[in-house]
Chain A
Amino acid sequence: MPAVQLFATCLGDLAFPDAVADAETLLRQAGFEVEFPARQVCCGQPAFNAGHRAAARRVARSFARAFSREAPIVAPSGSCATMASHYLPELLGVEPFEVWELSAFLASVGFRPLPRNAGRRIAYHDSCHMLRELHVSAQPRRLLGGSGAELVPFARPDLCCGFGGTFSVRQPEVSVAMADDKLAGGEAAGTIVTADPGCLMHLRGRAEKSGSPVRVVHIATALARGIGA
Chain B
Amino acid sequence: MPELAQPAGRFRVIARGKLADAHVQQALDDSTDRLRSHRLSAWEGLADIEGLRERAHAIRMEVVDDLQGHVDRFTAALEARGGHVYFARTAEEASAYVAEVCTRAGAKLAAKSKSMATEEIGLNAALEAVGVTPVETDLGEYILQLAGEHPVHIVAPAIEKTAEQVAELLTAVDGKPVPAELEALTAAARRQLRETFLQADVGITGANFGVSSTGSVCLVTNEGNGRLVSSIPRLHIAVMGMERLVPTTDDLSVLLRLLARSGTGQKLTVYTTLITGPRRPGEQDGPEDQHVVILDNGRTNLLRGRYKEMLACIRCGACLNVCPVYRKTGGAAYGPVYSGPMGAVLLPLLVGLDQAPSLPHASSLCGACTEACPVKIPLHELLLDLRRDLVQDGVAPRSERLGFWLWSWAWSSVWGYRLATRLARIGQPLAGLVGPGRTWSAGRALPRFGRRFRDHRR
Contact = CB atoms under 8 A, between A and B. Distances in A.
Contacts of A162: 324, 364
B454 A10 contact: no
A137 B28 CA distance: 27
A200 B178 CA distance: 50
Interface string B401-434: 1001101110111100100010000000000000
Contacts of B366: 128, 132, 160, 164
Interface string A30-63: 0000001011111010111111111110110110
A33 B190 CA distance: 73
Given A51-B391, A52-B391, A172 B439 contact: yes
A98 interface: no
B161 interface: no
Interface string A159-187: 11011111111111111111100000000
B306 interface: no
Contact of A167 (B363, B400, B412, B455): B363
B443 A172 contact: yes
| Residue among B371, B444, B448, B451 with max Cβ neighbours from chain A (10 Å) | B444
Nearest to B358: A170
B39 interface: no
Contact of A38 (B439, B451, B454): B454
A171 B405 CA distance: 22
Interface stretch (B8-16, B241-249, B251-259): B8-16
B101 interface: no
Contacts of B11: 171
A205 B391 contact: no
B457 interface: yes
A206 B450 CA distance: 20
A132 B93 CA distance: 42
Contacts of B367: 128-129, 132-133
Contact of A178 (B324, B405, B452): B324
B368 interface: yes
Interface stretch (B51-59, B225-233, B286-294, B381-389): B381-389
B325 interface: yes
Interface in B54-99: none
B131 to A, nearest CB: 43
A127 to B, nearest CB: 9
Interface in B121-166: none
A167 B364 contact: yes
B417 A10 contact: yes
Contacts of A59: 407-408, 411-412
Contacts of A61: 412
A182 B52 CA distance: 33
A176 B324 CA distance: 12
B396 interface: yes
A206 B15 contact: no
Nearest to A129: B367
Contacts of A169: 436, 439-440
B408 A58 contact: yes
B414 A39 contact: yes
| Secondary structure of the A contact surface, majority rule | helix
Contacts of A202: 444
B322 interface: yes
A17 interface: yes
B114 to A, nearest CB: 28
Given A13-B453, A21-B453, A53-B388, A171 B408 contact: no
| Residue among B329, B371, B391 with max Cβ neighbours from chain A (10 Å) | B391
Interface string A71-111: 00000000000000000000000000000000000000000
B454 A52 contact: no
| Residue among A24, A41, A44, A166 with max Cβ neighbours from chain B (10 Å) | A41
A13 B454 contact: yes
A10 B411 contact: yes
B448 A174 contact: no
Contacts of B450: 17
Contacts of B439: 169, 172
Nearest to A62: B412
Contacts of A160: 324, 364, 366, 368
Contacts of B365: 49, 128, 164-165, 167
B176 to A, nearest CB: 40
A222 interface: no
B447 interface: yes
A176 B417 CA distance: 29
A77 B12 CA distance: 29
27 contacts: A13-B453, A14-B449, A17-B455, A47-B407, A49-B387, A51-B387, A52-B391, A52-B405, A53-B388, A54-B408, A55-B404, A55-B405, A59-B411, A128-B365, A129-B367, A132-B371, A158-B368, A167-B365, A171-B12, A173-B16, A174-B15, A175-B443, A176-B443, A178-B328, A202-B444, A206-B443, A210-B443
Which 7 A-B residue pairings sit nearest by Cβ, starting from the closest?
Answer: A164-B364, A51-B387, A205-B444, A55-B408, A176-B443, A160-B366, A128-B366
Interface of A: 8, 10, 12-17, 20-21, 24, 36, 38-42, 44, 46-56, 58-59, 61-62, 128-129, 132-133, 156, 158-160, 162-179, 201-202, 204-206, 208-210
Given A156-B33, A205-B445, 13 more contacts: A13-B452, A14-B421, A20-B453, A39-B414, A44-B408, A52-B391, A52-B401, A55-B405, A58-B408, A129-B367, A169-B439, A169-B440, A171-B361
